[in-house]
Structure 1
Amino acid sequence: MTSGSGLQAALKTRHLSMIGLGGVIGAGVFVGSSSGITMAGPGILLSYALVGTLVVLVMRMLGEMAAASPASGSFSVYADRALGRWAGFSIGWLYWFFWVIALAVEATAGAKILHGWVPAVAQWGWALAVMTVLTATNLVSVGFYGEFEFWFASIKVVAIGLFIVTGALAVFGVLPGAHSEQASFSNLTSHGGFLPYGPQSVLAGVLLVVFSFMGSEIATLAAGESENPQHAVTKSTNRIIWRVGAFYLGSILVVLCLVPWDDTSIVEKGSYVAALDSLGIAHAAQIMNFIVVTSVLSCLNSGLYTASRMAFSLGERGDAPRVFARINSRGVPGIAIGASVAFGFIAVFFNYRFPDTVFLFLVNSSGGVALFVWLVICFSQLRMRKILQREAPEQLVVKMWLYPYLTWTTVGLIMFVLGYMVADGEGKSSGRTTIMLSLGVAALVLIISVVKQRLTAPRTSQKAAHRVVDSTPRP
């Protein structure tokens, strides 16, 4: 069975459900949370809550559009329809850029752990190996990708669920351990207060947290290759609230209650390892390393899938080389996959050869893409809702709450966060550099889209004119 785009519709409902679950739990929640805790103290909970609220609202908007019209390009396609070719082109390429850089980040993180287990293989060798294997899984079939992601995501979900339950039992005194006596809700306020660095630290932690939430939208891209896309999108959208609440806020709250936020072990070992160590759990570091490697493989698997499907969609619309839209005999866009992983390999090379210059620039310049994507989704939904209400109201099976007021409120929150990041140029946690570089890349892509439109417009007009002439009845 194939989708309308020619892609193989082989993803089962269980695949989509677990992709939706796993997409919310990126490797960043395990690796990056320690930086956020040291940056904002217990106040990082508010950073997660703020970004989590934005994610819930934005995913509701995206779910509304995706349930009405599933597409492999998801929000890029909707931006194209609602706002114009420039919007679909720009946000599609920015999103693709984000994920090919993420491939390098995740491959490097996984390679470091794997090299520690098997030092005989160089780090770059492990990075090459994991990317090659996951490229192969994506090339075989979309069903193969779905199966791999189902098991990767299952491990993440079970691991974080067990962590939350075990930690909660310790906090409430039900799980005695060698060091569990330090577990207490008082850790949230007894070490310099809930906001030890002041209210501004909450917003300073937002940009760091934003990166962790990228991936929530993958289920809407994958829906176009599922057996029942409307049902899958509706189910995933309706469950986003408890996913964000449990997996992010719940797990970070447990960490902060188990270990004082200013404990040096959080920086030295990582927040989750420090929390497990505090309970006297043997081999905590290796357990967490296994979970992080699984999360890295999951992110790599989904990142390559997502980048390739965005490249496929751009090619299908003429916003990328048409060859990207070619489907092979197994129903997958092989050339789009190859091109995406090729740029991922280049980024990996930059990470090992120029880590503090070229690669740092690439990472920083892609850091604000999540906020840009969410902003475009908001404006697309404002327009698409009107179109759907007028032309196909029966397709509105998922609706944004309190439309249009909550949509505009979300736009205001995102603009406020962007404005704060631009204005805040002081301190170790300033996000100005990241936002300014991201804005610079966005401006460049936007200029390219406008130039492309102007160059192709005359040819499009000529083709249209020829069609009119050719269709004119002859005497």
Structure 2
Amino acid sequence: MADQAQDEMTEVRSEGDEGYERGLGSRQIQMIAIGGAIGTGLFLGAGTAISKAGPSLILSYAVAGLVIFVIMRALGELLTYRPVSGSFAEYAREFLGPFAGYVTGWTYWLFWVVTGMAETTAAAVYVRFWAPGIPQWASALVFLVILYAANLISVKLFGEIEFWFSMVKVTAIIGMILIGVGVLTLGFSDAADTASVSNLWADGGFFPKGIGSTVMTLQIVMFAYLGVELVGVTAGESAEPEKNLPRAINTLPWRIMLFYIGALTIILALVPWREFSPGVSPFVAAFGKIGIPAAAGIINFVVLTAALSSCNSGMYSTGRMLRDLAQRGQAPGRLTALNSRRTPALAITVSALLMGLGVVLNYLVPAKAFEYITSVATVCGLWTWAVILVAQLRYRRAWQRGDLPAPTFKAPGGAWPSRLALAFLVLVVVLIAIDEDSRISLYVFPVWAAALVVGYQVLKRVRPQAVLAHPGHSEARPEAGRDAHPEPRPQAAPRG
């Protein structure tokens, strides 16, 4: 049975990513993974979270970071089992059934479309630091067009852009931490009189607004971690996925410790927490107070780079996920087409046009655009993470029975960490429902869910073969009965 399962695994590994160029090498995969952990949620969203929780926000990032590591190790098990493009939807199809795969594919696509809106919004906010007279919507539109053009060229160019975007972010954060340590220990800068580690507890204690307020920031913090799972989408274009993907996932703990917890600790020690305000990057504010010439401008450039990096990732992932849906017959067939450079040009174009709705929001409600968009993106991301965890638990039971081959990259701790992580995600949804500013996402998501249900029912009638589960073991498809038919293998998309 294990040999047969191994043969099936080898067969399905060839599916789904046909036609793509495996042009992402080790250094690009590493930097994409690092870049996914440093984004607008940290650079811009942390200002709001600090004003709500004070220094205890550091604890929120630590707890949420631990949960994210559990999710990523669960994803690592699945990736070494089947490293395919559109991985989350594929795992949902195999282990949770065809409807779950359909919902996950479209929801992850929506997640990155909405995230692209958020990141172009954030980038437009950063531009106002230098040019307050430029309309927010105009900057957002320019950035969207530039990144769209870059993504049409090749996956190698995408990888190089992400590599250098991430390099800027990593270098800058390390530099900020070193400068902050210098200010705290040597006392050079305009902030020397107030900069002190005691700022972490001197003004109202470590929990100045109570533990409840700290817990409420978890839903803001989880948005900051959205995108770390992008490494799973790159599986279909990674040169050596069995080696590169586990290596990228294993670097996650030190990335969280350094880039999130370390950077926030330094920032909150440099400047008393009450001096930060929502809508203003705490990094820009802190280094503006230090008094180093052009420091605030440099940091603003870095956070602008972070926003563009995340939007660039959104362009990449939406195109791949939409093409995967089209290959399954769950989106228009023309979206399977690849251009001469083997990129899903039409799928990227459709996604970019929808990201353009973010430009409209920046025109209509510039003050609220980022807040509205990020709340919707968070719920979409929570669904994807939950699917990863449940699929991993199903896969774990299957390989323990001998129905499927065991992973070469096993998650530590057995099944319990994944179950606890699922419970944590449920808590975050409850917090979103309680928070008036974030509750809008819970109004949007039922509408999205209803649209998916209607679309699925139509699809079953028009293209019944498009909603069948991926061939696999019986537990992966509990609804499959004696009348079920094997899912047809997707055809290779044209390269022209």
TM-score (norm: length of structure 2):
0.85
Structure 1 stretch 119-128 or stretch 221-230: which is displaced more? 119-128
Tell me what 1:314 maps to.
325
C-alpha contact 2:76 2:245 (8 A) present in aligned 1: yes
Tell me what 2:58 maps to.
45
Tell me what 1:330 maps to.
341
C-alpha contact 1:90 1:445 (8 A) present in aligned 2: no
Q: C-alpha displacement at 1:85, in angstroms? A: 1.3
- 1:9 is aligned, of 22, 28, 34, to 22
Matched, 1:111 2:124: yes
Structure 1 stretch 120-129 or stretch 314-323: which is displaced more? 120-129
* 1: CA distance, partners of 2:151 / 2:165: 14
C-alpha contact 2:73 2:411 (8 A) present in aligned 1: yes
Give 1:119-134 correspondences, 5 Å limit. 122-134=135-147
Q: C-alpha displacement at 1:464, in angstroms? A: 6.3
* 2: CA distance, partners of 1:178 / 1:288: 17
Question: In 2 relative to 1, CA 154–101 (structure 1 residues): closer, same or farther, beyond 3 Å?
Answer: same
* 2: CA distance, partners of 1:421 / 1:111: 26
SS of equivalent residue, structure 1 residue 201: helix
C-alpha contact 1:364 1:434 (8 A) present in aligned 2: yes
Matched, 1:295 2:295: no
Tell me what 1:343 maps to.
354
Matched, 1:447 2:459: no
Tell me what 2:44 maps to.
31
* 2: CA distance, partners of 1:459 / 1:27: 40
Question: In 2 relative to 1, CA 407–268 (structure 1 residues): closer, same or farther, beyond 3 Å?
Answer: closer
* Corresponding letter in the other structure for 2:137: W
* Corresponding letter in the other structure for 2:181: A
Tell me what 2:197 maps to.
185
Question: In 2 relative to 1, CA 118–167 (structure 1 residues): closer, same or farther, beyond 3 Å?
Answer: closer
C-alpha contact 1:51 1:210 (8 A) present in aligned 2: yes
* 1: CA distance, partners of 2:298 / 2:106: 37
Structure 1 stretch 213-222 or stretch 110-119: which is displaced more? 110-119
SS of equivalent residue, structure 1 residue 180: coil
C-alpha contact 2:121 2:140 (8 A) present in aligned 1: yes
1:24-83 alpha-carbon deviations (Å, 9 max, x no partner): 001221111111000111111122122111111101101111122111112121111110
- 1:152 is aligned, of 158, 165, 169, to 165
Question: In 2 relative to 1, CA 327–249 (structure 1 residues): closer, same or farther, beyond 3 Å?
Answer: same
1:407-444 alpha-carbon deviations (Å, 9 max, x no partner): 1111122223323443x3xxxx5466145225424532
Give 1:10-409 correspondences, 5 Å limit. 10-114=23-127, 117=130, 122-171=135-184, 173-174=185-186, 176-263=188-275, 265-266=276-277, 270-353=281-364, 363-389=374-400, 390-393=402-405, 396-409=407-420
TM-score (norm: length of structure 1):
0.88
* Corresponding letter in the other structure for 1:182: T
* 2: CA distance, partners of 1:269 / 1:93: 33
C-alpha contact 1:8 1:142 (8 A) present in aligned 2: yes
C-alpha contact 2:47 2:279 (8 A) present in aligned 1: no
Question: In 2 relative to 1, CA 442–373 (structure 1 residues): closer, same or farther, beyond 3 Å?
Answer: farther
Q: C-alpha displacement at 1:125, in angstroms? A: 3.4
C-alpha contact 1:180 1:278 (8 A) present in aligned 2: no
Percent identical among aligned pairs is: 34
Gaps of 5+ in 1: 468-475
